Chains A and B, each alone.
Chain A
Amino acid sequence: MYKIISKRELNPTVTEMVVEAPFVAKKAQPGQFIILRVDENGERIPLTVAGYDREAGTVTIIFQIVGATTKLLNMKNAGDCLQDFVGPLGRPTETEGIQKVAIVGGGVGCAIAWPVAKKLHEEGAEVHSIVGFRSKDLLILEDEFKACSDKLVVMTDDGSYGQQGVVTKALEELIQSGEKYDRVIAIGPLIMMKFVCQLTKKYNIDTVVSMNPIMVDGTGMCGGCRLTVGGVTKFACVDGPDFDGHQVDFDEAMKRGAMYKSFEREASCNLFKQEVQE
């Protein structure tokens, strides 16, 4: 069992939890993920490592409440335990040799982008962060990004905070103003990463994306997370989750992500029924 040390609401739909998991904390690197099960009957879900404290033996996860399991997870509080918590899984984000980078985060993807930005900043790279949210009340980690970015642009779809518009708009403005990036790292919804890649392709900027397909085991034994990169089948859990964004078949990934949509809606309903009974 893995004890929840603390819990913090970042916005009404996004929660941060610090979990006691010394094995994971000892090894985790930005870009890697964990798989957890909330309880004995739970499903396995992947969540990215948002932070770690090697001394304290704790790992930070940040999740958005999108369905049955994340709802169940959000019902847990500090002091409660999670049934299973395994990792770190996947390959760490490559940061070597990068001198100037644009980090683009969308929504809860910012929780994954932040540790990467922090690491690059610590390694001495010039970090420009562009973070996008639907509206002001969904904003997360602004101070954290400020602390590790040489430049920070906050975008909201409705203009309720920062600049109005999508992240690609801000990125294109920076590129056009003459900023020369070694690499763009984009993490967020598939559609956002797809548009970032279309843009950077135009300017021929090396772009890495963090993919988030459906996973079961997370150790390379099932291929449920497979996606097509450069025409070749890859398993995101062991070959990724980071890939060359210009090679990823995003349309296929989006269709695969929707595979269990009807089941997921029903599972949410079932969970709700249980709550009412209790």
Chain B
Amino acid sequence: MPNMRPDKNPMPSQAPDVRNKNFLEVALGYDAETAIDEAKRCLHCKNKPCTSGCPVQIDIPAFIAQVAEGNFEEAYQIIAKSSSLPAVCGRVCPQETQCEGKCVRGIKNEPVGIGRLERFVADYHNAHSTEKPQRPASNGHKVAVVGSGPSGLTCAGDLAKKGYDVTIFEALHLAGGVLVYGIPEFRLPKAIVQKEIDGLKDLGVKVDTNVVIGKSLTVDELMQEEGFEAVFIGSGAGLPRFMNIPGESLNGVYSANEFLTRVNLMKAYKEGSATPIEHAKNVAVVGGGNVAMDAARCAKRLGAENVYIVYRRSREELPARAEEVEHAEEEGIIFKLLSNPVEILGDDDFLVKGIKCMEMELGEPDASGRRRPVPKPDCTFTLDVDCVIMSIGTSPNPLIKSTTKGLEVNSHGGIIVDEHEMTTKEGVYAGGDAVTGAATVILAMGAGKKAAASIDAYIQAKSSK
């Protein structure tokens, strides 16, 4: 008999007023007993709607059945067939709109905690397994992967499992993309990312850091001179947008990318770090996505007294995950909704001293179907802040497009691909944010997985001729 309790087992977490002063992981994870109990809530539906909601199609009921029996390593092996980064996905996927959003238990009650179970299983494996994955026999074909974020890592992992000789080229000094420079330690410990990347290396994947494709080497050179038969571009959407309002050059105005890179990748939150960061007292974060929540929560942890989220629409439209918004609120982040900045104010020393905003109201729905925010007449207010973090989105970096012959992009700078993730250039595939613009980790992984299958089919067809 399944466990028919209506609610998910709650996630043990650090208390809000403790965790908002440290960078340790907020959510502490299930223990074995809780995991087994939660697993028993699964009804084992025949048509597996949860699996259809997972972009990498993990056989969810099968792994959960193993968890319910206490066979955690077996559960891991089932997940590993489909996912290269379960410890990451269990933590950062928006399960409410993916697997858990499709869970039958979720119709009347809370869905099964699939993400929490995936996380438990992956952490269990990482803590207990000493066996290195077996390196598959080489098939003699070379594939290059540009970018070591979620899409590149997934694509590389899938190809390596098929016997390809895969090299990942990464521009920064550490692999992981947004997993290392963007998502903070308190949501995704970097040791976990490193462990997953080490797992790929054990499979035979080579990771070359400090190589900027488009500068150090071009895509054409990879194919013509370095002997790669196919290239996957997973270079993400890392080009930050600014609002182009007065005062954006003031000292104390950051893009969320810069702020988070300093904090996460360069470890500026640590005492004695070589990379400086401003420890501001009052911070405004402009934007309402997950990145804005991450930046706000980092600012709080760096000692800010007041951290504001300034967002032009209402709470309903916040693009961030509900869970992240709740966590931010619990930690004392102040939400200034229906507010849009018009100017950043500075003092005589060129430092930020405030942000002037307009009050907004919601008008008619726009092209995206969301109600368009329009300014209320004569309603402005000023927040006294000494730091402003712009988190209003990013676009694909134009570097690869501008240095690769025959690679077409759309009007937003996203690389154009067909239904097999193939670009307009033969042998070159792309996926993740480089194609879609800023989206989620799991969608990037799904694209990486699909591209790996297409690359395999392409190379096999070519070499059988």
Interface residues, chain A, with chain B CB atoms under 8 Å away = 23-24, 27, 37, 41-44, 68-69, 83-89, 216-217, 219-224, 226-228, 233, 238, 252, 255-256, 258-260, 263-264, 267, 270
Contacts and interface: CB of A to CB of B under 8 A. Distances in A.
Which 7 pairs across A and B sit closest by C-beta, in order of nearness?
A: A222-B258, A221-B238, A86-B210, A255-B350, A263-B276, A43-B274, A84-B173
Contact of A27 (B215, B255, B350, B397): B215
Given A84-B173, A221-B397, A222-B257, A267 B276 contact: yes
A233 B216 contact: no
Interface in B254-288: 254-255, 257-258, 261-262, 266-267, 272-276
Contacts of A255: 251, 349-350
B277 to A, nearest CB: 8
Contacts of A233: 242, 244, 248-249
B235 to A, nearest CB: 10
A69 B275 CA distance: 10
Contacts of B251: 255-256, 258-259
Q: What is the predominant secondary structure among interface residues of chain A facing chain B?
A: mixed
Interface string B196-238: 0000000000000111100111000000000000000000001
A37 B397 contact: no
Contact of A220 (B216, B242, B350, B397): B397
Q: How large is the interface on B (under 10, 10 to 19, 20 to 34, 35 or more residues)?
A: 35 or more
Contact of A23 (B211, B257, B276, B349): B211
B32 interface: no
28 contacts: A41-B274, A42-B274, A68-B274, A84-B173, A85-B210, A87-B212, A87-B216, A89-B212, A216-B258, A216-B275, A217-B171, A217-B261, A219-B171, A219-B215, A219-B238, A219-B399, A220-B397, A221-B240, A222-B255, A222-B257, A223-B257, A226-B242, A228-B249, A255-B251, A255-B349, A256-B350, A263-B276, A267-B274
Interface of B: 171-173, 209-212, 215-217, 238-240, 242, 244, 248-249, 251, 254-255, 257-258, 261-262, 266-267, 272-276, 349-350, 397, 399
B212 A86 contact: yes
B249 A23 contact: no
A45 to B, nearest CB: 9
A88 B248 contact: no
B216 A86 contact: yes
A80 to B, nearest CB: 17
Given A43-B276, A216-B262, A222-B258, 4 more contacts: A217-B261, A220-B238, A221-B397, A222-B240
Nearest to A23: B216
Residue in B244, B257, B349 with the greatest tally of chain A CB atoms within 10 Å: B257
B399 to A, nearest CB: 7
Residue in A85, A222, A270 with the greatest tally of chain B CB atoms within 10 Å: A222
A220 B172 contact: no
Contacts of B210: 84-86
Given A219-B397, A233-B244, A256-B251, A24 B257 contact: no
B218 to A, nearest CB: 9
Given A86-B171, A221-B240, A255-B251, A216 B274 contact: no
Contact of B266 (A44, A238, A264): A44
Contact of B261 (A216, A228, A252, A263): A216
Contacts of B249: 226-228, 233, 252, 256
Contacts of A238: 399
A260 B349 CA distance: 13
Contacts of A23: 211, 216-217
Nearest to A264: B276
Contact of A69 (B171, B173, B274, B350): B274
Given A37-B173, A233-B248, A238-B399, A260 B276 contact: yes
A138 B174 CA distance: 37
Nearest to A86: B210
Contact of A223 (B172, B242, B399): B242
